[in-house]
Chains A and B, each alone.
Chain A
Amino acid sequence: MLRLTIDGIKVEASEGTIILEVARQVHIKIPVLCYLEGVQAIGSCRVCLVEVEGVKTLVPACVTPVTNGMKVYTNTRRVRDARRTVVELLLSDHNGECQTCERNEDCELQALARDLGIRDIEYLGEQSLKKEDTSTAALVRDTSKCILCRRCVSVCTEIQGVGAIFPQNRGFKTIIGPAFSLDLENVICVQCGQCAAVCPVSAIKEKDDTEKVWSALDNPDKHVIVQTAPAIRAAFGECFGYPPGTLVTGKMTSALRRLGFDAVFDTEFTADLTIMEEGTELLNRLKKALVDKEDISLPQFTSCCPAWIKFVEHFYPEFLPNISTCKSPQQMFGAVAKTYYAGKIGRRPEDIFVVSIMPCTAKKFEAERPEMTDSGAQDVDAVLTTRELGRLIKQAGIEFRSLHGEEMDTPFGIATGAADIFANTGGVMEAGLRTAYEIVTGEQLPFKNLHVKSIAGLDGIKEASITFNKTFSEWEFLKGVTLKVAVAHGLGNARKILERVKGGDNTYHCIEIMACPGGCIGGGGQPRMTTDEMRRARISAIYKEDEGKKLRKSHENPALKQLYGQFLGQPLGEKSHHLLHTQYMRRDFNF
C-alpha cells in the first residue's frame, strides 16, 4: 500500500492507481474531458492538471500513477489558472452555439466552463473548419463542435474493433473522421452510435427525427402508433433526473399517450415473437444437422442487433448464412402492425405511421434498409432514441415526474418477462433457452428463478451449456444432446468469438451478440454518460421487471398465441417467412 496526501487528506492506494481515482475516493472532484473510465486515458486535454510537490510541471491526474509519500494539490491558484487556460483555449476553437445546440445543459464542455468560472475567452483567432456529415440515417458529425478528445476514436477502434474514424491532418486542419474525407455512409461504420454516446459535446450525435414524428402526430389522416424497446424503460428516467435503473414503464406510457399517439405498444411483444421464430429456426437447424445430416450453418447467431448485422456484412460476410433470418423485434413489429393490426382496425398500411423508441442509433439505419418493406409500405417510419423521446416530452411541456403510471394498449402491449431481458447482454439467449428447453422437454428451464447465471453480467464473452435429458418424441434426436451457447457484447468481443469459430471451434450451437457494451441498456441512444455502474443498475432493473411478471416465457404470451391463431399460422410458416424473416448482404467497402 502506498501512502500519500491529496489536499492534505491522508490516503492509501495500491500501486498503479492514478491520482484521479484516489481523489475520487476522498470526494475531491478533478475535472476531466478526454478521460473516460474503461474507454480512454491518454492525458491529452490537460483539464485534469494537478500540482505535485517537488515536481516542476503540473501533471495530468488521469494518467499519473500515485507514489509513496506523494503530496498532491488539486486546488491551488496555479492549478485553477492552468485548467481555466486549457478550457479557454478549447472554447476559442469551439462553435459555441450553446442555446441552439441539442447538448445545451447536457454538455461536458459547457459544464466545465461553468464550474471553472470562465467569463472571458482571450484567445481569438484562427478556427477549425466546419464540416457537417449527414450522410447516414443514424448519425450526424459536426467538426465545428469537436474538441478532438478522441473518445469516439477509442470506442470505435478499441471497444468496437470497427475503426471507421481517426484523427487526420494536424493543427487547425485536424478533424476526426473517416479516411480520405469520406462520409460515414461510405465507410465501414456500423452506426452503433457508441461514438455519440461518449462524445462530451455535440460533435457526433444521432440524426434528429423528432420533427418527423411531430409532423405525423399533427397529421389527422395518420394513425400514429409507437413501440417502446425493452432497454429504454430502465434508463429513460435519467432524462428527468431519476437515478439509473429506475423503472419508468408506466409513466413513459402515459407520457406517450399525452403526446398524442393513437396507441402505445411494446417492442417486447415482438421480442416474444422473435423467440418463437428464432427458437424454432434453431431447432430446425439442429434437426437438419443431426437427423438429415445436411450441411447447415451452425452456430446460429442472433439477429436482433442492426449494428452487429452491419458488422458481419462488412467484416465477416462468410458468416452471413449463420445469422438467424429473423428480423429484429423492431422490424417484426412494423411488419405485423401494418398488416395484422391494420386489418384489425380497418386501415391501409400506408395510413399507419409506426414510431419506435430505441436505445439505439443503428435502429434508424435498420428501419431504412430497403428490404424492410414487407408490409407494402416502409415497415417502421421513424425511430427516436431514448434521448430524443426525452426532448419530445420536454417540448410538449409534459411534467414527466408528476405523471401516473398507465398500462400499454392491447394487443401489442402484452409481453412476458422473457422479452424484458432482451435489453441486456445474455438476455436474448436466456429468453430463447426458457422457451426452447420447454418446447423440447415439456419442463421448465432448470435454473433458479429461470436465470442462466453464467451468461449474465458484464464479462465480455460468456458461455453456458444445458443437456436435454428427456424429450418429447418429435425432438427425440436431441435426447442427451448438450446445447452449448455463447454470448458476447461489444463488437470487439464479437470479433474474438468470430475468430474463434473461424479458427475451427465448432462446439457452439447458438451465439448471442449485442454490439454495445452491456447490451441495449448501454446503447448508443441512451442517456449519457453510460458507465459500468449505470449498466449494472439498468440491468438489475430489467431483471426486476422480468421477475415481477406472471408470465416469463415467450411462448406463454396470450396475445402472441392469438396472433399465430388468427394470422400467422405457425412459427416459420409461410406468412412468417414473408413478413418476419429477411436476408443480408455483403458490403465491400474499402475504408
Chain B
Amino acid sequence: MSIKKCRQEFEKIFKKYPDKTQALLPCLYVAQEKCGCLTEEIVSFLAQRLDLPKVEVYSVITFYSMFSFEKKGKFVIRICMSLPCYLRGSREILEAVVEEALCIKPNQSTEAKKFTIEPVSCLGLCDIAPAMMINKKIYGNLTPQKAREIIRRYKQEKDK
C-alpha cells in the first residue's frame, strides 16, 4: 500500500504548511521517493486531504518531469534540454547517453529497471552547461565522451 509508506511523512508536511495547497509539492516529492512512482491512490488521498480537485493534483504531477506514474529505474538520468544546455550540445549528450547506456529511447527504462533516461527542463545548472543529474548527483561541463565514461561507471556498479 503506497499511502501507508508515506503517511507519517505526509502528516509532518501537513503540519508544516498552514496553507494546505503548499503542502502538495513536498508530499508528491516524498511519495515519489518512497514508492518509486505515484499512483491514483496517492492522487485521491492528497486531493481529499488538501481540499483540491483530483484533476488539479494530477495536473501538477504531469507538469513536473521529476514526478511520474511509472516506476523508474534505479538510476534516473536527467539531461537538461533547456536553452543554455541545448546551445552547448545537450542533444549530443542525450544521444551519447542513450547509445552508451542502454540502447533505449528517452523516457524509457532499461529492462532490469536499472536506468531511466529523461530529457528535462532547466536543472538550474546553466553555469556548467551542458549538465545532467543521475539521481541526486550532478555532472556538468559534459562532452559526449565524458558522459559515456560516467554511464560506464554506473553500468559496472551492477557487476560489483
Contact = CB atoms under 8 A, between A and B. Distances in A.
B51 to A, nearest CB: 11
Contacts of B52: 163
A163 B56 contact: yes
Contacts, number: 42
A179 B63 contact: no
Contacts of A57: none
Interface string A160-191: 00111111111000000011100000010000
A170 B65 CA distance: 9
Interface residues of B, number: 13
A169 B62 contact: yes
Contact of A178 (B44, B55, B62, B121): B55
A168 B52 CA distance: 15
Contacts of A164: 53, 55
Contacts of B55: 163-166, 178-179, 187, 591
B58 A179 contact: yes
A167 to B, nearest CB: 6
A167 B59 CA distance: 6
Contacts of B121: 170
Nearest to B40: A590
A285 to B, nearest CB: 33
Determine chain A's interface SS by DSSP, over half rule. Answer: loop
Nearest to B47: A163
A352 B54 CA distance: 44
Interface residues of A, number: 16
A166 B52 CA distance: 12
B59 A590 contact: no
Given A179-B43, A590-B40, A169 B56 contact: no
Given A179-B43, A179-B58, A590-B40, A169 B53 contact: no
A168 B54 contact: no
Interface string B101-129: 00000000000000000000100000000
Contacts of B54: 163, 179, 590-591
Nearest to B57: A179
A157 B58 contact: no
A166 B54 CA distance: 10
A163 B48 CA distance: 13
4 closest cross-chain pairs (CB), A and B: A163-B53, A179-B58, A166-B59, A166-B55
17 contacts: A157-B53, A162-B53, A163-B53, A163-B54, A165-B55, A166-B56, A166-B58, A166-B59, A167-B59, A168-B58, A168-B62, A170-B62, A170-B121, A179-B55, A590-B40, A590-B44, A591-B54
Interface of A: 157, 162-170, 178-180, 187, 590-591
